[in-house]
Amino acid sequence: MKRESGPARLERSPIHLLHRVGQCASDIFAMEIGDADLTPRQYAILLTVSQNEGLSQTDLVERTGVDRSTLADIVRRMLKKGLLQRRRTKDDARAYAVKLTDEGWRLLRATEPMVRRVDDKILAVLSGKQRDQFLADLQTIVEALSVPPPLSATSRRR
């Protein structure tokens, strides 16, 4: 078996290539958004909350894939910016229901065309058929790898 080295190995590494694509996408996002003071994760949270008002932060973790502690920090910053508001849920006094403020709605509407341009710039390097396949492949990977691992025997006993 021939051993790949250096750049050849990186060119075949999904983790490396996904990281590089993520860097490129983040750079395009930052250039397009400009002074809007919004990150891709914050946009994902704004969009998800706008489509599902009253979600708990746990639901946001599940729908966005942002880990729990990072999401709590992002929500805290978005609360300070006046983009989100949260209240304790009726069903569980420990959980918060999150919704957009008027300022959150304004920012979402203002940035949606910019985010569409970011998506278009990223996908423009592929033909129409390749775009559809690329997005389907990414979704397949996310769905397959987002499944929580089965409980181990020791964790089931607790």
Provide mean pLDDT across the span 115-128. Answer: 96
pLDDT digit string, tens, across residues 23-65: 999 999 999 999 888 999 999 999 999 999 889 888 999 999 9
Count of structural domains within the chain? 1
- Range(s) of the domain holding residue 132: 13-146
Domain assignment present for residue 50? The answer is yes
Domain assignment present for residue 120? The answer is yes
Domain assignment present for residue 90? The answer is yes
Strands 55-56 and 84-88 come out as: unpaired
Residue 131 has pLDDT above 90, yes or no: yes
| Pairwise pLDDT comparison (130 vs 96), residue with the higher score | 130
pLDDT digit string, tens, across residues 70-97: 999 999 999 999 999 998 877 777 778 8
- Rounded to whole angstroms, how far apart are CA atoms 106 and 8? 46
Domain assignment present for residue 93? The answer is yes
Residue 22 has pLDDT above 80, yes or no: yes
Determine how many CB atoms are found less than 10 A away from the CB of residue 7. 8
How many CA atoms does the CB half-sphere of 6 hold within 13 Å? 1
Domain assignment present for residue 59? The answer is yes
Q: What is the pTM of this model?
A: 0.81
Can you give 15-72 as a three-state secondary structure string? Answer: HHHHHHHHHHHHHHHHHHHHHHCCCHHHHHHHHHHHHCCCEEHHHHHHHHCCCHHHHH
Contact 84, 104 (CB under 8 A): yes
Domain assignment present for residue 37? The answer is yes
The CATH number covering residue 131 comes to 1.10.10.10
